[in-house]
Amino acid sequence: MGRSGSGHLTLLAGLTAVLVAACSGGGGSSGHTQSGALSIGVIAPFTGPAAQFGKLLSAPCYAGTKLINDAGGVLGHQLACVSVDDTGDPADAVPNVTRAIATTQNLDMAIGLESNTAATTVPIVNRARIPFFTTNGLVSLSNTSAQYYWRATASDDANGAAFAAWASRKGYRSAAVVFQDNVGAEGNLPGVQAAMPRLGGQIAINVTIPGDAASYSSVVTRVIAARPDVLIFAADPQTAATFLAEYKQLDSGSLPPMVTATDSLTPDFFNAVSRAVGTDYLTQSVYLVGSYFDNSTPAFATYKAGIDGSPQVGDIASVIVTVGPPASAYDGINVMALAMMKANSTIGADYNGRILDIVSKRSGATVVHDYASGKRAIEAGKQIQYVGVIGEMQFNSHHNFSGAFAANQFRADGSSTQVGVISGDQVTRLLGG
């Protein structure tokens, strides 16, 4: 897919009139006196090589809206999920997101805005004054001034450092870094480069590969020659399947262990890679690292019930409850809905300023773990602190928050299990913080 930077600017300029109209439309309509359901925009790829992200981010929306609607909705409104396909390509994302804002009834909150397209979609949604919880990892947005931006997942460089930390914990010292040529994958590289030498390891070879090529044999030959004891890897399912199949073929049936992102905890990745190199490799030698959360909390039990009770989630349900970004999106939906309750308004400009009121720790606040209990407390006139699936959210002045990291492995049925935790403090130190 093309990614022409000048094309993005032209599209943005050409759609200014539509966007201005949208700012007074979807996210900025008449508060809780609106009629009909409130729409949650799930802004993610639903087509193209990165379509797995659309599945990952729709599931927490289905779960969140089900639980909120079961609790009576928000200010008399039910909630509905609306898919906004950014295709994983900024050139498509600009018109698609702009059009959705202009035409979707009561588009009052959003989730998603993943790394591949966030540089172009974040400004559009922010200008429309629609609060959003993003799952992007762009380091450039770690210091954003966007008022309606909220991120409760790690930046890509922190993810990269966590990859290296887990590889080191498993005893691997020589890594081949293989990332697909997209901004989401390549954003992990600075963290890997910073962390490996601090952990006493080295990067034996660092290569970038195009997505969905027919063959990677020349690159695979170079990687094999470097004799790594681990692959630190990030690519879409078909790219990963082709690369690994050729590696196994060219290295006499051998494959080094892999550390990759929890974004790949999907049926698409599991099925493509297991067909290419076998289920044993996936279940025994692949570690998937991402944001950590505790699956023994009351918040998690409610989240899992919402996932299991949402038939639209389908065969991805067992995976969703182990992956950090969907959990942060679910928590974000609850926080935005409770902020609407607190502001007595569904207008983004009204309730956005109440988000910190909902998550901040304060003396005398009632701690709540789900929307229903938060709604009851607010209606009773109480101050609340929402502590959700990902725990306490401690946003900095740029509306960013990141906690600890976890490593997961696939089971033979495609579900997954957590096998270890990496502290956020260790990752900060590895990045030089």
DSSP state string for 136-180: ---GGGTT---TTEEE-S--HHHHHHHHHHHHHHTT--EEEEEEE
Domain range for residue 240? 156-289+405-430
Please check whether residue 425 lies inside any domain of the structure: yes
Per-residue pLDDT of 9-32, as tens digits, reads 333 434 444 443 444 344 334 445
138: nearest Cα among 162, 158, 163, 123:
158
CB atoms within 10 A of CB 207: 14
- Helices marked H in 205-297 — which ranges? 217-225, 237-250, 267-277, 279-285
The pair of three-digit structure tokens given for residue 402, joined into one six-digit string: 């990141």
- Please state, in angstroms and rounded to a whole number, the distance separating the CA atoms of residues 132 and 109: 6
DSSP element (H, E) containing 230: strand 230-234
Please check whether residue 107 lies inside any domain of the structure: no
Please check whether residue 216 lies inside any domain of the structure: yes
- Please state, in angstroms and rounded to a whole number, the distance separating the CA atoms of residues 249 and 209: 18
Please check whether residue 27 lies inside any domain of the structure: no
The CATH number given to whatever domain includes residue 184 is 3.40.50.2300
Q: Please state, for a pLDDT cut of 70, what percent of the chain lies above it.
A: 92
pTM for this entry: 0.83
Per-residue pLDDT of 369-378, as tens digits, reads 999 999 999 9
Q: Which pLDDT score, from 0 to 100, does residue 53 have?
A: 87
Q: Which pLDDT score, from 0 to 100, does residue 16 have?
A: 40
Inter-residue contact 265 to 292 (CB < 8 Å): no
286: nearest Cα among 276, 295, 273:
273
Mean pLDDT of 144-167: 96
Number of domains in the chain: 1
Please check whether residue 338 lies inside any domain of the structure: no
Q: Which pLDDT score, from 0 to 100, does residue 321 have?
A: 84
Please check whether residue 240 lies inside any domain of the structure: yes
Strands 258-261 and 230-234: parallel
Q: Which pLDDT score, from 0 to 100, does residue 32 have?
A: 52
Mean pLDDT of 364-368: 97
Mean pLDDT of 319-348: 93
The pair of three-digit structure tokens given for residue 429, joined into one six-digit string: 């130190």
Mean pLDDT of 394-407: 93
Half-sphere exposure of 344 (CA within 13 A, CB side): 2
Mean pLDDT of 390-414: 93
- Burial of residue 199 (CB within 10 Å: 0-12, 13-18, 19+) is middle
Beta bridge partners of 289: 261, 407
The pair of three-digit structure tokens given for residue 351, joined into one six-digit string: 């309730």
Q: Which pLDDT score, from 0 to 100, does residue 233 have?
A: 97
DSSP state of 391: B
Query: Which of the pair, 228 or 1, is modelled with greater confidence?
Result: 228
* Mean confidence (pLDDT) of the chain: 91
Mean pLDDT of 249-260: 98
The pair of three-digit structure tokens given for residue 137, joined into one six-digit string: 């990892």
Please check whether residue 399 lies inside any domain of the structure: no
Please check whether residue 355 lies inside any domain of the structure: no
**Residue recorded with tokens 């789900």:** 370
Question: Taking 60 as the threshold, does the pLDDT of residue 3 lie above it?
Answer: no
Half-sphere exposure of 402 (CA within 13 A, CB side): 26
